Structure 1
Amino acid sequence: METITIVERRGLTDDLAAGILPASVLDIERIAETGAHHPAELVNQIPGVGLHRGSGAEHLTAIRSPVLTGGAGAGSFLYLQDGIPLRAAGFANVNGLFEAPTDLATGLEVVRGPGGAQYGSNALHGLVNVQTARPGEGGYALTAEGGSFGRYRGSYQQDFSDQGLPLVVGVAGRHEDGWRDEAGLDHVTGLVRFAGTLGEDIAWLARVDGVSLNQETAGFIFGDRAYEDEAASRRNNDPEAFRDAWALRASMDVDGRINEAWSWQVTPFWRRNEMDFLMHFLPSEALEESGHESVGWRSALRYDGETQRIALGLDTDWTDGFLRETQERPTLFSFVQGPHYDYDVEARVMALYARGEQDLSDRLRLSGGLRYENTRYDYTNNLPSNTVGRFLRLPDREDEFDTLTGQIGVHYQITETSSVFGRVARGARAPQTAELYRLQPTQEIEEIEPEEIDSVDLGWRYQSVDGLSVELVGFVMQKQNVFFRDADGINVTDGQTNHIGVEFDVYLPLGEALSARWSGIWAEHTYAFDRLTGSATESITDGDAVDTAPEWLWTAGMNWQVTPAGSVSLDWSHVGEYATDAANAHEYDGHDIFSLRGRYALTESLVLFASVRNLFDTRYAERADFGFGNDRYFPGEGRGVSLGLRLEG
């Protein structure tokens, strides 16, 4: 089991290293053993996390939360690569990880609950940081794999440092025909890393990344337990749906040392992305075209003393973004043929943060931090400012939001093998641009405020000398100004929800060749307000469970090192029952999925690996929902077999 401590690359040390922030990490060995076909297979091994897999690279995320969609799904989770957000804060995407090079990742970090002071908007329920190779780690890796559903992938990555060149290059590509009809995927990612020094006191690391995504998309199937019918599950009712996207990113870490105690870091970055997406889930089936280009920097001035550590930083982000939505279908109800929206947004985010850490004794450590963030949007409407059907186009305007977030935490080392920790934190996010400027006639933009979440954590860790590891974390969270769309299609701006739960992560060695692990969460996610809608099944009552929020969510696994060269692992993923509508009148029973994986070293550098996913060919739903009077489901993939080779050295 991986050690749940992370050295933060943005600061000399932070709450992850201090053991205060609830966080987990998967290292490169665990990533290679998983051989994930989708990021969900990686992050769902972490307690408190549930990624619902969609078509191709699509997904919906839950971290200490229900599965969130729309602006809440995009804005409640921060997705980073090497500490830099993949997208600008106000232009996030609900499928946030499809732009990350997970096939080339060397580590994966997840923070559960509000992020620390060094993270800004969108680190509300949690964050995911994909780590990539740095020159100097050495070696190469070449992977090829094929399997069921026309699924093929390959990757190549090499560090040329051992040849005297501080350079890493990597490329990964995958193709799949799809489990469902006309739901294929082509996904390519690439990266370049180059490092150097300026004198004795300054080091730099430059990064360039690119991603291309072309996929056909399949939507819901309808009818009570429709996912139990394999033919219905594989049918695509939206064969014309698609998602095409690309992204380019560049950044450079520049680190310098002033003296033995003081150091600094500046990371300028640039990013650009565009996406075309057919909104097949709406009667309009409108085409959405969106994108943005950003420049900015992240910075830190750090002090590292014997008993005290301090970090101060100024972060900036300037972004030009656009969105167009056009309906080609004839007018249907209030979905009017023609352009719905066409606007540009210039965004500026500036943030100041400070965090500190004090060793009060050899066993007791105190940590705290504050972050002030100012977000400003300059919106330009390129269509007549009026109401067309259900679409409200605002005249040109400027909007500004201020958020103040922070935390204070404590860590106490009880013995050499056990410790306790706790923290109180507040997270916040400025509204997404789509939440502000894709309005409806009944909505007032002045009512939209930043979402805020208050969190209290208390945890215990134990790690024995023989390898037994246990972590238990209890949390209570309350979220205000929750923004979502109700069953009447009306945007709600003042919702409240409560969240309470316990996360657990256990690793148990059972001898020299056998080990077991179990990680997951028990939680209750409930509404804390009332709201009537035209549908009784979607009216919200204070205390009802939030829909798509199972109480139990866990993964378990057994690993058997059969021979020095070969191993076999059996994984068990459990999703508990949950309500599929706001009034809790309908529910999904949950499911249990088993997968079998094996690895065999043919030589010191060549490994053969194989897997059988959904071992018992269980019929299940990746996501269950009740909407517009119908049970509807994203069906889960049937049994799939894959075989591959990995050459490394």
Structure 2
Amino acid sequence: MKQCCLLIIASMAVCNSYAQQMHGRVADAQTKEALPGVNVRLLHAASGCNTNIQGKYELSATATDTIEISYIGYITKQIAVNAAEKTRVIYLQQKATNLNEIIVSSSRDKQRRTEAPIAISTISPQTLQDTKATTLDQVLNKVSGVYMVDLGNEQHTMAIRQPIGYKSLFLYLEDGIPIRTIGDFNHNALIEINMAALKNIEVIRGPASSLYGSEAVGGAVNFITASPTLVPTAKVQLEGSNWGYKRADFSVSNTVKKVGFAVSGYYANQSNGYMDHSDFHKLALTAKIDYQINEKNKWTNAATLINYKTDQTGGLDSAHFFAKDYRNFQTFSYREVKALRVRSTLDHEWNSSNHTTFTAFFRNNTIGQNPFYAIKDIRGTQKANGQINSDGFNSYGIIVQHKKQFNWKQAALIAGVSADYSPASYLANYIDITKDAAGYYASYRQTDSTLTDYHVGLVNSAVYTQFEFSPLEKIRVVAALRYDRMDYNFDNHLTPSAYTGAPSERNNFNAFTPKLGLTYNLGNNRGLYANYSVGFAPPNISELYTGVKVPVLKSATYQNYEAGGWFGFDHNNGYVDMSIYEMKGSNEIVSVRNADGVYENRNTGATTHRGVEWNAKYTPLRSIFVRTSGTYAEHIFNAYTDGNKVYNNNQMNGAPKWISNTEVTWKPLCLKGFRLGAEWQHIGKYYMDAANTSLYNGYDLFNVRAGYAFRSVECWVNCMNAGDQLYATTAEKSAYGKTYRVGPRQTFNFGVAYTFTGKK
């Protein structure tokens, strides 16, 4: 009897050790967000599972076994079963040289980077964390082929496969939704981004019109916001600079059962900088709530609020620029932005092969300004004139998308529709300006004279589809087609003229934009791709109706051909991706001057843009990370006539051939948490005018960043423009002379942050 009892007890102990049921969750080590689809398997048994949409896994394991956790783009981790049971949440670290990562912008759905036949780059959460950027250009300029131009106080313009300019050739998105309505482009649109809410950024270079519509010509930039964390987290961050810049960031996030929330924001203030009249302040807030209704349904609601105001500074003439005379002759010019974006998204998974997303959104946006560029001197007097204007719109829109996967040839079909109604208005009033003896625009007087007053009922509607399949094991083909229609109902509240705008009228523009591409997998993290795509850019509201005689304008179209590849090396401790492209534009809208001196918009431009882009990352040692990215490009006028001046075959103005960014980061193993980085930004020479008579020699900048994190506290110092280089972010020549937009002087940014991370 005694022996029988001992046998039963021993058997129960063995069974208990063998049949242990373990539960846990997997999250990103940087963002603390759940990771769905992670492979969790036992090393010594033929069993495993994938994490669900909430990052949860469940499997039977012995207490002495070990589990292996692996996910695309992350460092594989092994952990003993007993240890895994105690931690409950297992954190995975992203690879520094991350080639085969997951992206969403290429197809509006998750896919591997190596299956997307486009030039796309990702700015990772780790890069955002290490850079400690005070403006978005400090991270976007790390991307090959991108030059985000700093115009001061978060103001900017963009150059991606295009010269430096202000045209509506770039599309800016937040979680896949345009942050402004199509047709009312503003080159300063990224003022409306909350940097404190970002998880990562994806940049598509070249036309993306087949999925996103017009304006996605030079490229599309998708800002992906952070989702709620698995565990309670809170962060407070304070920083300042030697030029009067002060900023405070915060974030709070958690998930309780099926509901997760994330709230983040920052307040920035600039005062008493190195340039006169250059103060600004900005408040940015974002809130997101995820409700995981069940395994098949997820409801996400998000809202972003921006309140921004800045003094406006113009460019300097040659004498003041090269003398380092930073006086600003503007004393009252300003720009003020108020923006609100709200979206509600329902994700429904019908089964493993069918997934539908429904999104409804609302946008409210107003830009008010007393612009420096509208000020005109009155010859022979101490007077000038200008304007105070306001441009605003509301948007009410929906996007519905369905993805169907097939068993045949790993095929997948994506189809979607989108529509938004965006009534917009514009009002500009004339002002009298007085100059003092020193040349300062000292004061102004408002008048009852209205220059422009109109309302536009703007309707954007589109249908799109994308089909992809693998005809052979190593080849994947992607074909996409989109149809867009834009309807303008223009109501001019004033008598039509060259200044007040066009007569009241209705206009519409439509276009089919196809894309065809393929990838070829060479194995060992190496592959090639090629694609053909079309982009289009219909006239914006301002080009059609604001302050000009309006002829009949057509949409500008762009034919793009490109090829490239990615190549991992040194046991995947490094990789290189490259692309070569040629894009031809026709019917480009340019402002030309007639014989009577009046400017009007015409479809007279034809251009060619061609170049090569590269991006390389390498970790020769565990503590050393090297990255270099850049582009060599040519931008040519094929046909461009302004009055009697013909600029055919000239290089386009504002188009540097060479742009590169190189960075070396050291994270010593002997001092965990410390980092030291050095960055070199190079902008090559370019012509300042279309006639190619004046050349700007470009510039080289060196930035140094250092930081140290110990437990929950992090501190850092960044030295931007370490050599205090005199440079211009833009250099232009006109009939009035040369103008240089001064780049920031040597700047030291100091910061400290505290992060609380709870447990579950």
Aligned-pair CA distance for 1:528: 0.8
Residue in structure 2 matched with residue 280 of structure 1 by the alignment? 372
Does structure 2 retain, via aligned residues, the 8 Å contact 1:552–1:575? yes
SS in 2 for 1:436: helix
Partner of 1:527: 637
Q: Distance in 2 between matches of 1:183 and 1:616?
A: 22
Q: Which of 299, 314, 323 is the matching residue for 1:229?
A: 323
Q: Which moved more, 1:27-36 or 1:3-12?
A: 3-12
SS in 2 for 1:117: helix
Separation of aligned partners in 1, 2:433 and 2:714: 56
Residue in structure 1 matched with residue 357 of structure 2 by the alignment: 265
Aligned to 1:313: 416
TM-score, with normalisation over the residues of structure 2? 0.80
Contact 2:453–2:500, Cα closer than 8 Å, also in 1 = no
Cα separation, partners in 2 of 1:624 and 1:100, compared to 1, 3 Å: same
- 1:509 matches 2:601: no
Q: Which moved more, 1:110-119 or 1:206-215?
A: 110-119
Query: Does the alignment pair 1:637 with 2:744?
Result: yes
- Partner secondary structure for residue 134 of structure 1: coil
> Structure 1, residues 454-473: CA drift from partner, whole Å, max 9, x if none?
10110010113241110110
Which of 599, 613, 620 aligns to 2:727? It is 620
Which residue, 295, 313, 328 being the options, matches 2:396?
295
* Corresponding residue number in structure 1 for 2:235: 141
- Structure 2: how far apart are the matches of 1:344 and 1:17? 46
CA distance in 1, matches of 2:532, 2:228: 38
Report the alpha carbon displacement of residue 17 of structure 1 after superposing the two structures with TM: 6.2
Do 2:604 and 2:640's aligned partners in 1 also have CA atoms closer than 8 Å?
Answer: no
**How far 1:604 moved relative to its partner?**
1.5
Displacement of 1:337 after TM fit? 8.8
Matched position secondary structure for 1:50: strand
- Structure 2 letter corresponding to 1:378: N
Q: Secondary structure at the match of 1:528?
A: strand
The alignment status of 1:413 with 2:521, answered yes or no, reads yes
Amino acid aligned to 1:288: N
Q: CA 1:200/1:566 → structure 2, altered by over 3 Å: closer, same or farther?
A: closer
User: Is residue 2:208 matched to residue 1:115?
Assistant: yes
Which sits farther off after the overlay, 502-511 or 192-201?
192-201
Residue 314 of structure 2 is aligned to residue 203 of structure 1: no
Max Rg structure = 2
Question: Which of 602, 605, 618 lines up with 1:495 in the alignment?
Answer: 605
Which residue of 104, 108, 115 maps to 1:8? 104
Q: CA deviation at 1:440?
A: 2.1
SS at match of 2:321: helix
Which structure 1 residue ranges, 5 or more long, are not aligned? none
Q: What number of residue pairs does the alignment pair up?
A: 628
Answer 1 or 2: higher relative contact order, Cα 8 Å, separation at least 6: 1
> Which runs of no fewer than 5 residues in structure 2 stay unpaired?
1-96, 377-384, 436-446
What TM-score, normalized to structure 1? 0.93
- 1:538-578 superposed Cα distances (whole Å, 9 cap, x missing partner): x4421111100000001001111233221100000000000
Paired residue for 2:140, among 43, 66, 76? Answer: 43
Q: Which residue of 1 aligns with 2:426?
A: 323
Q: Aligned with 1:391: secondary structure?
A: coil
SS in 2 for 1:360: strand
Residue 540 to residue 14, structure 1, CA distance change in 2 (3 Å) = farther
Shift of 1:515: 2.3
In 1: Cα distance, 2:253 partner to 2:185 partner: 32
> Which amino acid counterpart does residue 584 of structure 2 have in structure 1?
Q
Contact kept, 8 Å, 2:171 with 2:178, in 1: the verdict is yes
Query: Is the CA contact 1:6–1:17 (under 8 Å) kept in the aligned structure 2?
Result: no
After superposition, where does 1:57-76 map in structure 2 within 5 Å?
57-69=154-166, 72=167, 75-76=168-169
- Is the CA contact 1:331–1:337 (under 8 Å) kept in the aligned structure 2? no
User: How do 1:165-176 and structure 2 match up within 5 A?
Assistant: 165-176=259-270
| Secondary structure at the counterpart of residue 489 of structure 2 | strand
Pairs within 5 Å for 1:357-436: 357-385=468-496, 387=497, 390-436=498-544
| Alignment-mate amino acid for residue 578 of structure 2 | L
Amino acid of the structure 1 residue aligned with 2:492: N
Question: Do the aligned partners of 1:621 and 1:636 also contact (CA within 8 Å) in 2?
Answer: yes
1:459 aligns with 2:564: yes
Question: Shift in Å at residue 631 of structure 1?
Answer: 1.2
CA distance in structure 2 between the aligned counterparts of 1:625 and 1:130, rounded to whole angstroms:
30
Asked if structure 2 preserves the Cα contact closer than 8 Å seen for 1:391 and 1:439, the reply is yes
Conserved? CA contact 2:363–2:395, under 8 Å: yes
Equivalent in the alignment of 1:91: 184
Q: How far apart are 1:200 and its partner, in Å?
A: 4.3
Q: Equivalents in 1 of 2:114, 2:537: separation in Å? A: 25
Q: Residues 382 and 621 of structure 1: is their aligned pair in 2 closer, same or farther, counting only changes over 3 Å?
A: same
Aligned residues of 1:294 and 1:318 also touching (Cα < 8 A) = yes
> CA contact under 8 A between 2:284 and 2:305: conserved in structure 1?
yes
C-alpha RMSD of the superposition: 2.0
Match status 1:106 vs 2:199: yes
Instruction: Tell me the alpha carbon deviations over residues 352-408 of structure 1, each in whole angstroms, 9 at most, x when there is no partner.
Output: 0010110122211000100001110111111123x2xx4153222111111111200
SS of residue in 2 equivalent to 1:427: strand
Residue 137 to residue 131, structure 1, CA distance change in 2 (3 Å): farther
